[in-house]
Amino acid sequence: MSSDKIIVTGGCGYLGSHTAVALINAGFNVVVIDDLRNSRADVLDGIARITGTRPEFVHCDCTDAATMAHAFDTHRDAVGVIHFAALKAVGESVAQPVLYYRNNLNALINVIDMMARYNIPNIVFSSSATVYGEPDILPVTEETPLQPATSPYGQTKVIGENIIRDFVRANENMHAVLLRYFNPIGAHPSAEIGELPNGVPNNLLPYLTQVAAGIRDHLNVFGDDYPTADGFCVRDYIDVNDLAAAHVAAVQYMIKTKKPIDVFNLGTGRGVSVMELINAFGRATGINIKYEIAPRRAGDVPEIWSNADRANKILGWRAETPLDETLANAWRWQTRVGKIIK
Ligand code: UD1
């Protein structure tokens, strides 16, 4: 067990809150920084009910350099930062690219500035499989060439990775792990925390659970004529609790090895089509989802899934939760939050 302090930006968000739980359960002292733009402060109550510990909370927009300096000064004894705080809606990023560049890049720059100023030596960066674009060969490994991102959101991940590479190159006592997430889904098994999308969900599973709950009439399945085994898009859906555990492993790995930089895919290594996911949800919950085939969604790649060997071998981490359990957790969370839509 470790009582090392970790700053988690975006710690009230979907991935951040599950990671805060995993860190606290592993003995870390967690400080959450969040501006609550896309999240709620009562997420901290959920974290406290699960772990018995309420993380210290700093209400701060990461692009606000002065408030960030105050927060990092107060927590200069931290050993690392996990930087989740970012905007992530692909369509919105196409409509408002400058908002995405300004927010996501200024926030990251402030975080690494503060790390250098207060000598906080470790960062985990939330990257995305979107950096692989439409890959020629599947599954993708970390060596798969990156392709031009299909959205400004994706560009902020590619640029963010490069900023961090240059930062650790120029600061020999700084270390980074870049984590490329595939498709995180599910919720904590306690149903105390989960995903709380703003308005109409963009992502598949929150939309699907809202259909199951009667909040939406039916699911639009974007495209049934892709060049895939069943004609539907294929993704690598990873349980959010497994994803959270990988962050703990990444922090421990950085503290131990002091390696300047490393990059890991976080996925299951298995591709699942939209239709397979709908059917798996039916098996896991007994609920048949009403759906309609809709046109393809602009920017969707036909199929992508990970080779997760590197994280398996080097971090000693593996995505373990069976898909039906993940889907049952997502449904339990949806029934708990009921018809609350922000
Ligand atoms: C997207 C982004 C990814 C980002 C992630 C989290 C791209 C190409 N993808 O992943 O970078 O990290 O969101 O925000 O930039 N689908 C439906 N009906 C729906 C919703 C989705 O059929 O109502 C299908 C999509 O066509 C896709 C699959 O479900 O095949 C998953 O979609 P989604 O959950 O939005 O994730 P991605 O697009 O893979």
DSSP per residue over 41-92, as a string? Answer: TTHHHHHHHHHS-PPEEEE--TT-HHHHHHHHHHTTT--EEEE------HHH
Q: Give me the average pLDDT of each 10-residue run along the chain (342 residues).
A: 89 98 98 97 97 98 98 98 97 96 98 98 98 94 91 97 98 97 98 94 97 97 98 98 98 97 98 98 98 96 97 98 98 84 48
- Residue 206 Cα to ligand 1 midpoint, Å, equals 11
Nearest CA to ligand 1 atom 16: 204
- The pLDDT score that the predictor gives to residue 2 is 64
Kindly report the number of other CB atoms within 10 A of residue 162's CB atom: 11
Ligand 1 neighbour 302 (Cβ under 6 A) = no
233 lines ligand 1 (CB under 6 A): yes
Ligand 1 atom closest to the Cα of residue 130 is 11
Report pLDDT for 198.
Answer: 86
- The residue whose CA has the least distance to atom 28 of ligand 1 is 204
Does the active-site annotation cover 153?
yes
Chain centre to alpha carbon of residue 166: 23
Contacts of 314 (CB under 8 A, 6+ apart): 253, 262, 264
Q: What is the pLDDT of residue 1?
A: 52
Give 187-219 as a 3 state SS string.
CCCCCCCCCCCCCCCCCHHHHHHHHHCCCCCCE
pLDDT at 95: 96
Mutate to test the pocket of ligand 1, among 203, 275, 289 (most ligand atoms within 8 A of CB): 203
Q: Which two tokens stand for residue 97?
A: 């690219």
What is the pTM (predicted TM-score) of this model? Answer: 0.97
pLDDT in the model for residue 342:
44
**DSSP bridge pairs for 59:** 34
Residues contacting residue 300 through CB under 8 Å, at least 6 positions apart: 222, 223, 233
